[in-house]
Structure 1
Amino acid sequence: MPALLGTVLAGVSLVAWMRAPQASAGPCDVAMGPASLPDVSETSGLAVGRRQPVIWTHNDSGHATDLFALDEAGREVGRVRVPVETRDFEDVSAGRCAAGDCLYVADIGDNARRRPRVVLHRLPEPGAGTTHTAALETFVLTYPDGPHNAEGLFVLGEEAFLVTKDRRGTVYRTGPLPAGGGAITMQRVGDLGLEVVTDAEASTDGRTVIVRTPDVATLHRAADVVAGRLAPYLTIPLLGLREPQGEGVAMRGDAIYLSSEGRIGGDGRLLRLRCRLPAP
């Protein structure tokens, strides 16, 4: 009996060890988290603010169009109601615009691939203490080759780029976004060769684009992406982090932020990685 009990306990310990999250992912170490996000159980996109040093996130479809501002520890420090109804709100991105610093609300999900058009809203990035926003610019986007499901959006210069959630991870670009909004037929850039892309974002310095799936995050030189070259310069494995359902990604300097939906309606989660990265 003692020997059998010892064998059982050893097996339980091995299973627990195999299921425990690792403290590193490739060249990155876990610097914070996972922090619980009780009001963002279905966290989807992530963006690092340009106007103020917060991390913006939101819930997936089925919730009010609220943007949540988080600090470096994952604590909620603000909440902003965006005055628009979305059909499938999948991402938030940050970037420059004529107003200075803007956030982009991406209503781009289409699981059934039946939407003839998807929608992108642009708004000045809210300041500290703001609870509501106005002055939205709305862009109605059409793919050149029929509907696609997408969850990734990033902004480089005056353009927005969408990444499809399928077996290819195809990138489409809008061209320069006009002032005031409008209707745009996007252009196909090419395939990333990634399955199930759940988010994409440009780094705060604009030099890198980071794309994630549940399994990996890939880093791409922004200048290469604009030129249509989509090969990554670094791939970071994420499976060892044991996220319940990996969704969001954002990047500032050597910090990479990852968000995950909770298990069975539980709290969302936020991780911050500190990485040793090659120059882009």
Structure 2
Amino acid sequence: MFRRTSLALALSAAGLLALTASAVAADDYAGPAVTVGNLWDGLKPDGTRNTVIPQDVLYQPSGLGASRINPKLQYVHSEKDRKTMLAFSTVTAQVVGKYTVAIPNVFDWEDIATGPCPAGSCIFAGDIGTARDIPKPNGISSVVRVPEPDLSDGQTSGTLTGDYFPYTMPGGPKNAEALMVHPGTGDIYVITKSTKGISDVYKFPNPLPKPGTSSVLTKVATLTLPLKEGDLPYGEVTAASIHPHANRFLVRTYRKVYEYRGPEGAPFASALTGTRVELTDTVEGQGESIEYAPDASAYFTLSEKLAAPYTLKRVDLN
């Protein structure tokens, strides 16, 4: 397991809660999508960027998580039963870290998020999918929590290990592709995926049980998303992210981006029943990942594809 860093320790609970309580001025992400570039790893012999990332390194990228200890860096993971994750620059799209995540019994790894944890700052990986309601072979859904690597300390590769939190949902397993973590409280949320445009939001208990002990999640909200006639994927939730000020959150579908907003200065629970605003889509064939910048100046998306190049896009705050 990576050790916690002094920078991670500086992210105290008091400081995070103060950020959560900050009032957020009226704002919007309505500008055009900007292409940051294709993810690249080193240079080819002719000096150009190598965007051919092998499938055993990144396959069907399906979730983004913004680092809380490495400036201007995000994580992206492979989907399904591959346990690979990359760290990359949100400025240049360069890959700067390559990892394996020790996820027990992984079947359908669908999303990641970052947030506070006993180690300071952690990456939360969600084995939350059921492949369109096909039961998992082992019947277990879970979230794995691993300490963030500190790239400034040379932690640019290796295996990330941590704590394993299996869970069940009332009424039995449900397909999900969206995972969110509250930046102040560490609350973990899972949002189900439905072809009918109606998705339920479930929450882990806080504090979490002893690692390895199964939790029963609590339903805390239902989201209704518009469907375009003849194009059901418009309403299927594929990713989500909580705003750094925690009074709103993003929801990604295959071809739309929405933000649910609570009143200024209100707790996060108000956003779950707040106003839904359609934001700029980044026009991807299969949008499955989304994440705010840590300073809330933008949000980023990366389309799921079977093979590279993988294109990072950004929508700036107006």
Q: Which residue number in structure 2 is paired with residue 245 of structure 1?
A: 286
Q: Which residue number in structure 1 is paired with residue 219 of structure 2?
A: 188
Shift of 1:84: 2.9
Tell me the secondary structure at the aligned position of residue 247 of structure 1. strand
Q: 2:188 aligns with which of 134, 140, 160?
A: 160
- CA deviation profile, 1:250-279 (whole Å, cap 9, x unmatched): 0021211011023x6342221011122xxx
Pair 1:109 & 2:129 matched: yes
Shift of 1:108: 0.6
- CA deviation profile, 1:42-84 (whole Å, cap 9, x unmatched): 1100111111121110111142x12210101221111122123
Q: Which residue number in structure 2 is paired with residue 52 of structure 1?
A: 70
Tell me the secondary structure at the aligned position of residue 32 of structure 2. strand
Tell me the secondary structure at the aligned position of residue 256 of structure 1. strand
Q: 1:67 aligns with which of 85, 95, 109?
A: 85
Pair 1:95 & 2:106 matched: no
Q: Which residue number in structure 1 is paired with residue 143 of structure 2?
A: 120
Q: Matched residues in 2 for 1:257 and 1:144: separation?
A: 33
Q: Matched residues in 1 for 2:260 and 2:34: separation?
A: 23
* Amino acid in structure 1 at the alignment position of 2:145: R
Q: Matched residues in 1 for 2:279 and 2:35: separation?
A: 17
- CA deviation profile, 1:9-65 (whole Å, cap 9, x unmatched): xxxxxxxxxxxxxxxx971223333424643341100111111121110111142x1
Count residues in correspondence.
Answer: 248
CA, structure 1 residues 105+205, in 2 after alignment: closer, same or farther (shift >3 Å)? Answer: same
Q: Which residue number in structure 1 is paired with residue 168 of structure 2?
A: 142
Q: Give the TM-score taking structure 1 as reference length.
A: 0.80
Tell me the secondary structure at the aligned position of residue 50 of structure 1. coil
Q: Which residue number in structure 2 is paired with residue 208 of structure 1?
A: 248
Give the RMSD, CA atoms, in angstroms. 2.3
Q: Matched residues in 1 for 2:101 and 2:243: separation?
A: 24
Tell me the secondary structure at the aligned position of residue 265 of structure 1. coil
Q: Give the TM-score taking structure 2 as reference length.
A: 0.71
Q: Matched residues in 2 for 1:117 and 1:224: separation?
A: 31
Q: Which residue number in structure 1 is paired with residue 12 of structure 2?
A: none
Q: Matched residues in 2 for 1:149 and 1:274: separation?
A: 31
Tell me the secondary structure at the aligned position of residue 219 of structure 1. strand
Q: Which residue number in structure 2 is paired with residue 198 of structure 1?
A: 238
Greater mean deviation of Cα atoms: 193-202 or 212-221: 212-221
* Amino acid in structure 1 at the alignment position of 2:148: E
* Amino acid in structure 1 at the alignment position of 2:67: G
CA, structure 1 residues 70+266, in 2 after alignment: closer, same or farther (shift >3 Å)? Answer: closer
Tell me the secondary structure at the aligned position of residue 132 of structure 1. strand
- CA deviation profile, 1:64-121 (whole Å, cap 9, x unmatched): x122101012211111221234211111100111211111011111024224430110
Q: Which residue number in structure 1 is paired with residue 269 of structure 2?
A: 226
CA, structure 1 residues 255+78, in 2 after alignment: closer, same or farther (shift >3 Å)? Answer: same
* Amino acid in structure 2 at the alignment position of 1:89: W
2:301–2:312 contact (8 Å) kept in structure 1: yes
Structure of larger gyration radius: 1
* Amino acid in structure 1 at the alignment position of 2:150: G
Q: Which residue number in structure 2 is paired with residue 265 of structure 1?
A: 307
